[in-house]
Structure 1
């Protein structure tokens, strides 16, 4: 019978309808798992196909609410379902959201690393595509926000307020 080396019985893994492993534990606003009996924040449904403008609007609402982990999931849906030529953009935006998530969790190494990786991806996409504001987004401003926040996190060595440090995807809007 499945037991671990410490003698505890291994817990059955949560599975979806296709049998893929899924963690059904509730999560907090930053995506951290909570005990099974805790009240958590509703998770974003996976695999939702949205129009790009809807993706940007929904992600901004989640970022403003201090839920960058959830915004990352919205960007990830666009990355996986969007046109091939835009996948690097959506992946870069997802990295920015994950970087903010880690920075808000107090990960002063991984947060800045992901913020800079996302900034580089967004910059590279904008450079390759020759577009400054796809779907109204201010990519140069997002890149500057990410690099500045990475420095703040490294310098302070402390977690940041995710909602208070949320980027404006469309700039001054």
Structure 2
């Protein structure tokens, strides 16, 4: 018997299933974490502030969605910045979920994508500091060391420091 799948008029998945704070699907009857609305156009300052709040709250998956909105709605010349920041947030998500290989890879890829923006100090983001933080966290993860939670891994986007 075919399963009743939650799809829109064009057949795309609606992702109506509740999710936990790290974006993992929960049973349909579970109480999940409120989803981050998608497709919101924010100013760069609002994007950074909202993403920082979500990172601090231990919701890096949700922060990635905020960065993804900026990546999709912003100027093409900034795509690498916002995509790289989204990759850093997904790297933290994977680390918190226990996917160490994916976490380290995404942290390094995100750092590589944002690194060209370091000389500009785009929107007050500490790009050089974030690159150092991401590579240090990836190294710690490779060595079997990582903070206990997503919130403990959260960088300060405006003054990133490697975790201790």
TM-score by length of 2: 0.92
Counterpart check, 1:81 vs 2:78? no
Counterpart check, 1:61 vs 2:49? no
Tell me which residue corresponds to 2:7.
Answer: 15
Deviation larger for 21-30 or 156-165: 156-165
- Larger Rg computed on CA atoms: 1
Find the residue that maps to 1:156 and give its secondary structure. Answer: coil
Contact 1:108 1:157 in 2 (8 A): no
| 5+ residue gaps, structure 2 | none
Q: How does 1:146-165 map to 2 (within 5 A)?
A: 146-156=134-144, 160-165=148-153
Query: 1:10–1:29: structure 2 CA closer, same or farther, 3 Å change rule?
Result: same
Find the residue that maps to 1:43 and give its secondary structure. Answer: coil
Q: Please give the root-mean-square deviation of Cα atoms over the aligned residues, in Å.
A: 1.8
| 5+ residue gaps, structure 1 | 1-8
The number of aligned residues is: 161
What is the distance in 1 between the residues matched to 2:106 and 2:6? 28
Contact 1:26 1:40 in 2 (8 A): yes
More helix by proportion, 1 or 2? 2
